[in-house]
Amino acid sequence: MSVQEEIETLRTELHEHNYRYYVLSNPIISDMEFDQKMKALEALELAHPEYDDPNSPTHRVGSDLTKEFVKVAHRYPMLSLGNTYSESELSDFFDRASRLLNESFEIVCELKFDGVSISLLYEDGKLIRATTRGDGVTGDDVTTNIKTIRSIPLQLIGSDYPENFEIRGEVLLPWKVFDTINQEREMQEEPLFANPRNAASGTLKLQNPKEVAKRLLDGYFYYMLGENLPSDEHYDNMQKAKSWGFKVSDAIRKCKSLHEVFDFIHYWEKERNKLPFATDGIVLKINSLRQQQLLGTTAKNPRWAVAFKYQAEQAVTTLQNIEFQVGRTGVVTPVANLEPVLLAGTTVKRATLHNADVMTSFHLHVGDQVLIEKGGEIIPKIVSVTYQNNQSKEIEFIQLCPSCGTHLVRVEGEAGYYCPNETSCAPQLKGKIEHFISRKAMNIDGIGAETVDLLFQKQLINNISDLYTLQPAQLIRLERLGEKSVQNIMKAIENSKSVPFERVLFALGIRYVGEKVAKALAYAFKNIDALARTTTIDLASVDEIGEKIAQSVVSYFADINNQQLVELLKQYGLQFAIQEQTTVLKSTILDGKTIVISGVFVYHSRDEYKSLIAQHGGKEASGISAKTTFLLTGDQPGPSKVTKAKSLGIQMITETNFLHMIGESEGDKPVQTQGTLF
Ligand SMILES: NC(=O)c1ccc[n+]([C@@H]2O[C@H](COP(=O)([O-])OP(=O)(O)OC[C@H]3O[C@@H](n4cnc5c(N)ncnc54)[C@H](O)[C@@H]3O)[C@@H](O)[C@H]2O)c1
Ligand SMILES: [Zn+2]
């Protein structure tokens, strides 16, 4: 390949990766690989200025512009940051600054938050616009979405803020929320987000602000711009911003020497693993704004700042064996069991191998030494084999289902193998039951994965329809279940008979029919008989339904076992047709009461609380007034609502107390902590 071809190839690749990363929020290579390619291109362009091109990815900020939003020009260009993984390059940065400034200077060290950059404009203390970085010159106007983020002030506190200024920061998705979203996506067989940054950027570009609000984004701020800023020092401006109500991290330090800078870097290399959100390095900024001006910028980066990025943490350990897990739709996933090793603050015992192709590409043997990495992703993965144990035979991907022995099959064009024995393969049956009873499906609370396992072992349930023949007397005999929980289970099963058709359809667990698809199908076909009779052609004419889904629906209903299952469920009284919006009254406990909801909830979603209020005879209202009976508060309730409630002497009730009041249970706690997957 000639040098020119090499340059062109790298440019094309980098453009493509930028697009996948910023627009699709779905990168296929690691950041480190991306940065290496970028450095390689920079080196080639430097050595061969004759092939320079102003459109090269080395000269431009990667663009996140999409066609769905209004475009807004930035007042000041929004640049990227030069980055390095090496401490000696930081010394170079320091030396260059001393040479160019030729006077003393301070460096402010901050965390490099791994989210999406955002620019906010404030006028007279009010948020007037929020814009993404876009291509650095223009960005997407995402004001409505940003306004759903509770920690971003819509009105500033105090009075010493400039009339007009811009503040920049990072929109983040906390690890906890990231885990929950991915667990939900996994259940619905939607592609998982690789890391919180991709999830945050995907969220910010959603068209429905209500959906954005549900994702519980957060925001940290790290730079102020404008004509009349309070101070010439970046550090002081950030402290001011904090006093006006912005979230500014306490992990910020003024340094006079490189020594202090390295201290900060080394300290946070370990400590950052304890933070509730992702970070990928440290940012160094010259403190004085006057000195920043003197140093200026390139087309892509300021010369007064640089990012030091931490290497993804890696470790070497021994492969003990490979386990093959069967999911509820029969898909088989190879998982590596490893000798436990400490990595990025947690003990790692397992790593995913995704599918047969990925697994066989490593040619693994029991006793191999493998290099594992935990980068932006929380699920560790195998990077390479560092020592091959040839004493042992290469581990092959299985041909028979590890649970039921059926021959596995592979769908044309897909990487995964699956067990076709839907009707009697235990992990599939159990998985289907767990899916059926889950919160977003039939919401049969009181039964968790362990109880399903127990019921299954005792042969009380073998498939989902058996749930409806369970008798309290059978349950009470099981160890671990008290009278109260048996009652709750029976009540939840009974209540599930009024769950609307679209959720029943989702609950059936038809391959590729997630929550959204189920809704689209329910509204298009109105009832299960019409859906069961339909053809792939009719199905494909429905919005959001592609050929793959259509095929899957048709083959589901062609199966006699599924036909019988649906018939049975119909007899038990489940909803198999769209209903006009009517509420089934469960009690009149809340009769005559007007309730306002505020905050973030743990046990049920806001929408579920709204329907619970209606089901118990109450009325939900959006604003507090003298008519309000009480305020149902979750975590971080809106401050204005709280103040108003207090001033009117209106009682505030927590979600647990509320659930007790109406006699509903708390169900499975949906929010789980980091690291529960592996
Ligand atoms: N894997 C891929 O395919 C792929 C593709 C494109 C880009 N990338 C990654 O993204 C990087 C480029 O992205 P980028 O231009 O957003 O740069 P960046 O993320 O490396 O650094 C710049 C950004 O850092 C953020 N930031 C966080 N904390 C900050 C702080 N305290 N002060 C100032 N800024 C702070 C800002 O949003 C700023 O825009 C690449 O280096 C690469 O690692 C990866
Ligand atoms: Zn099987």
pLDDT profile of the chain (678 residues), mean per 10: 94 92 80 88 95 92 89 96 94 96 97 97 97 95 94 95 98 90 72 83 89 92 97 98 97 96 95 90 98 94 96 88 92 93 82 87 94 73 90 95 96 82 91 91 87 90 93 85 88 94 94 86 91 91 82 94 95 90 77 89 79 88 88 87 90 90 70 27
Determine if residue 664 is labeled as part of a ligand binding site: no
Nearest CA owner, ligand 1 atom 29: 112
Position 377 scores a pLDDT of 56
Domains of the chain: which residue ranges? 3-51, 72-309, 315-418, 432-571, 594-662
- The ligand 1 atom at the shortest distance from the C-alpha of residue 118 is 37
pTM, 2 dp: 0.64
Q: State in words which class domain 315-418 has.
A: mainly beta
Position 345 scores a pLDDT of 66
> Within a 10 A sphere around the Cβ of 497, how many other Cβ atoms?
15
Position 376 scores a pLDDT of 54
139 three-state secondary structure:
strand
Q: Name the residue among 149, 308, 283 with its Cα closest to residue 223.
A: 283
Q: Calculate how far, in angstroms, residue 323's C-alpha sits from the geometric centre of ligand 2.
A: 14
Position 670 scores a pLDDT of 43
Determine if residue 34 is labeled as part of a ligand binding site: yes
Q: How far is residue 447's CA from residue 41's CA, in Å, rounded to a whole number? A: 56
- The ligand 1 atom at the shortest distance from the C-alpha of residue 17 is 3
Is 83 close to ligand 1, i.e. is its CB under 6 Å away? yes
Phi-psi region of 246 (alpha: psi -120 to 50; beta: other; left: phi over 0): beta
Is 42 close to ligand 1, i.e. is its CB under 6 Å away? no
Ligand 1: which of 81, 167, 225, 377 to mutate, most ligand atoms within 8 Å of CB? Answer: 81
Is 519 close to ligand 1, i.e. is its CB under 6 Å away? no
Do residues 433 and 467 make contact, with C-beta atoms less than 8 angstroms apart? yes
Q: Calculate how far, in angstroms, residue 418's C-alpha sits from the geometric centre of ligand 2.
A: 8
Position 588 scores a pLDDT of 86
Q: Which CATH number fits domain 72-309: 3.40.50.720, 3.30.470.30, 3.10.20.30, 2.40.110.10?
A: 3.30.470.30
Q: Which residues pair with 632 in a beta bridge?
A: 597, 653
Nearest CA owner, ligand 1 atom 5: 18
Position 188 scores a pLDDT of 63
Q: State in words which class domain 3-51 has.
A: mainly alpha
User: Which amino acid makes up residue 203?
Assistant: T
* DSSP letter (8 states) at residue 20: I
- The ligand 1 atom at the shortest distance from the C-alpha of residue 117 is 37
Q: How far is residue 613's CA from residue 610's CA, in Å, rounded to a whole number? A: 5
Three-state secondary structure of 443-482: CCCCCCHHHHHHHHHCCCCCCHHHHHHCCHHHHHCCCCCC
- The ligand 1 atom at the shortest distance from the C-alpha of residue 114 is 27
> Beta strands 138-140 and 126-132: pairing type?
unpaired
Is 221 close to ligand 1, i.e. is its CB under 6 Å away? no
| Same CATH fold assignment for domains 72-309 and 315-418 | no
Fold of 432-571: DNA polymerase; domain 1 (1.10.150)
Do residues 505 and 513 make contact, with C-beta atoms less than 8 angstroms apart? yes
Active site residues: 112
Q: Name the residue among 105, 58, 99 with its Cα closest to residue 82.
A: 58
Q: How far is residue 508's CA from residue 531's CA, in Å, rounded to a whole number? A: 13
Q: How far is residue 473's CA from residue 489's CA, in Å, rounded to a whole number? A: 12
Q: Calculate how far, in angstroms, residue 596's C-alpha sits from the geometric centre of ligand 2.
A: 49
Position 674 scores a pLDDT of 27
Q: DSSP H helical segments within 287-425, as ranges? A: 289-295, 356-361
Fold of 594-662: Rossmann fold (3.40.50)
Is 189 close to ligand 1, i.e. is its CB under 6 Å away? no
Determine if residue 254 is labeled as part of a ligand binding site: no
Q: Calculate how far, in angstroms, residue 478's C-alpha sits from the geometric centre of ligand 2.
A: 27
- The ligand 1 atom at the shortest distance from the C-alpha of residue 32 is 43
Q: Calculate how far, in angstroms, residue 307's C-alpha sits from the geometric centre of ligand 1.
A: 9
Position 678 scores a pLDDT of 27
Position 384 scores a pLDDT of 87
Q: Give the DSSP per-residue string, 322-353.
A: EEEEE-TT-BEEEEEEEEEEEETTEEEEEEE-
Determine if residue 119 is labeled as part of a ligand binding site: no
> Within a 10 A sphere around the Cβ of 439, how many other Cβ atoms?
17
Is 64 close to ligand 1, i.e. is its CB under 6 Å away? no
Q: Calculate how far, in angstroms, residue 281's C-alpha sits from the geometric centre of ligand 1.
A: 10
User: Which amino acid makes up residue 305?
Assistant: A
**Assembly ipTM:** 0.95
